Chains A and B, each alone.
Chain A
Amino acid sequence: MISPFRIVKREAPLAWGACLVISGAVLFALGIGMGMLSLQGKPPLSGMGLLLQGAFGSRWALEDCVGKAVPIYLCSLGVAVAFRLQVWNIGAEGQFALGAVGAAWAVYRFSTLPGWTLIPLMMLVAFAAGAFWGLIPAFLKLRMRANEIIVTLMMNYIAIFFLDYLVYGRWKDPSSFGFPMTPTFPDSAVVGRIGGTNLNWGLLLCIVSGLLVWVFFRHTRLGFELKAGGQSLQAARYARLPYENLVVLVMVLSGGLAGWAGFIEASATLNRLQPSIMVGYGYTAIVVAWLAQLNPLYIGIAAFLLAGLRVGGENLQLELQVPAAFGEILEGLILLSVLAASFFIRYRLAPRRRS
């Protein structure tokens, strides 16, 4: 059977296409989510209500969303920098873990320093640790042609087991009654809250890093080269762009930013290191980066929305006993539908003429 439509390439990409596609995809995913709820005998409409209300319905909830959006934003910004050059860094999760470990190391090694030197030092070590974890796959990619997707992913597992090794063993707090956690950070190592809110200064770090990345891509030669290199590797080679240096640069930035996310989580949110610091922000960051089309501003919006999905999902779990993985399913569905629907930004269906 011949379909009554044929696919025609649009002369110009659909105006407001990305916006349409993303809202359509989110609605579609929420629709499927409602279907899943009703299949399990839970009220779909009030379920979605609980999700949205839990995420955005109160000042406390909104602050929680922003708080969770901070590490997602930093990881996602890093992922986006790497994706710009088509370097597929899936390792934000591990780089995040290394950043948290690095920050904690700085705290326990220099615990007597005052806050105004300790916190910058923690930031430095966290950035360096995350960047180091990003450099290894960059090196293996350039020198050994090893696929960075698999290397970064495997290094996530290794980083998480390394963190476990520290909190279950070497760095375990002797007074924690056997719980796997390190001793609480001293006050000088804790990133404080902004004014009378529940938000921490990590938000400022996001804004500054986001602006810097934006300026870098928009107004510097190196940033332009990076974008060009990402659009066509052959063109980059032809223009003699220093591809190897660019790969190293993006992986250092990418890993360092994820390392900062780990630093914020360890310092501001948990005040220590424990296994529950790993909640998959590094993977959510990939979804966020792609939804936001790698744009630093849109990443902020998408990070806030997906943080909302997590916060709302917790509410749903509490009220309707829906497993926490519900949010993960929606994340995957949103991303898949955006990928599929983006097709219609470039193409349209035209009715076949009868001949």
Chain B
Amino acid sequence: MTWWDMLVPLLAAAVQSGTPILFATLGEIFTERAGVLNLGVEGVMLMGALAGFLTSKWTGSPALGFAVGGLSGAGLSGLHGLVCIGFSGNQVVSGLALTILGTGLADYLGTPFIGQGAPGFDPVPVPGLSEIPAVGSIFFRHDPLVYVSYAIPPLMWLFFRNTRWGLRLRAVGEYPHAAAAAGLNVSAFRWAGVLVGGFLCGAGGAYLSLAYTHLWTSGLSAGRGWIAVALVIFAFWHPGRAVVGAYFFGGVMAFQFRLQATGTHIPSSLLLMLPYALTILVLVFSSWRGRGDQAPAFLGVSVPPGE
């Protein structure tokens, strides 16, 4: 077997295991662009994973499961919106509370289903495109949700750049007082940011249970939500760069599992550290290069009532 024969399946696996991270990263970018920092992604993903799994198990429809996973993500993020937008609470602490709550809820409701399976998504090769050498195997022999995820970054890019609503949403994140003075309803835009972003994070979680593992275990997201939060900084809040980051981490995770499967002498606990250590490295690198000024200027700052 040549290195090429090994590389192509690894890259294909990178795309697949990067997809849940991509959904979550795009969701968090959307939320943060509206000026709200939601550190609850990890909990939101777990909730989405469980809701998607249970829906698919009970209705037999993975597509419905995916939708419900996204909606439950939006619902849980709605609590964050209520605390931070409705009651101008501290966004950092509220996000952490959301992670604790979401993890707890998913554990609590999911305990009876640990190890059980549910109907999920299977790979559907795209006719024509999947026949392209290498590229076809890497990008076009996946489940339909991966193809859905291909569409989101360009759409989000167009939305932020070329639509009235996208520009307004960004304005609310950059300078809410000016946006309010221009007659925009700051709270409404921030709510939209939280809910749409929460939907995407929940959908990323649902991808994990419906397409990645096809079964439920506790702690399914294993820190992917936090990796997504880090990738937002790496991506400088641009949907396009999120793709690069998500597939890179997908690749790291796929590589680590393959290495474990080959029966290497490296202890598995050391291998498992890899994605988290790399997250720190990537974060350090992008913060150092990016100087942090790409962040929406009013990210994490609540706007008190009457201002």
Indicate if the CB atoms of B97 and A145 lie closer than 8 Å. no
Given A146-B284, A150-B226, A323-B107, A332-B82 contact (CB < 8 Å): no
Using CB atoms and an 8 Å cutoff, list the residues of chain A in contact with chain B: 7, 9, 36, 88, 90, 140, 144-147, 149-151, 153-155, 157-158, 161-162, 164-165, 168-169, 283, 286-287, 290, 323-329, 331-333, 335-336, 339-343, 347
* Bound: A332/B287 CA distance, A: 30
Indicate if the CB atoms of B287 and A335 lie closer than 8 Å. no
* Bound: A144/B269 CA distance, A: 28
Q: Is B273 part of the contact surface with A, judged by Cβ < 8 Å? A: yes
CB distance from B227 to the nearest CB of A (A): 8
The A interface is mostly helix, strand or loop, or mixed, namely: helix
Q: Is B154 part of the contact surface with A, judged by Cβ < 8 Å? A: no
- Which among B18-26, B138-146, B175-183, B274-282 touches the partner chain? B274-282
Contacts of B97 in A (CB 8 A): 287, 332, 335-336, 339
Indicate if the CB atoms of A339 and B287 lie closer than 8 Å. no
The B interface is mostly helix, strand or loop, or mixed, namely: helix
Indicate if the CB atoms of A336 and B98 lie closer than 8 Å. yes
Interchain CB contact (< 8 A) of A336 among B101, B105, B267, B277: B101
Indicate if the CB atoms of B269 and A150 lie closer than 8 Å. no
Given A168-B267, A325-B111, A335-B100, A153-B83 contact (CB < 8 Å): no
- Ranked nearest first, the 8 interchain pairs of A and B with the lowest CB-CB distance are A332-B101, A328-B104, A325-B107, A339-B89, A343-B87, A335-B97, A332-B100, A329-B104
Contacts of B149 in A (CB 8 A): none
* Bound: A154/B279 CA distance, A: 7
Indicate if the CB atoms of B111 and A323 lie closer than 8 Å. yes
Given A164-B269, A165-B267, A340-B82, A149-B100 contact (CB < 8 Å): no
Indicate if the CB atoms of A149 and B283 lie closer than 8 Å. no
* Bound: A339/B96 CA distance, A: 12
Indicate if the CB atoms of B229 and A158 lie closer than 8 Å. no
Indicate if the CB atoms of A145 and B111 lie closer than 8 Å. no
CB under 8 Å from chain A, chain B span 28-68: 39, 43
Indicate if the CB atoms of A90 and B276 lie closer than 8 Å. no
Q: Is B305 part of the contact surface with A, judged by Cβ < 8 Å? A: yes
* Bound: A99/B199 CA distance, A: 39
CB under 8 Å from chain A, chain B span 67-96: 79, 82-83, 86-90, 92-94, 96
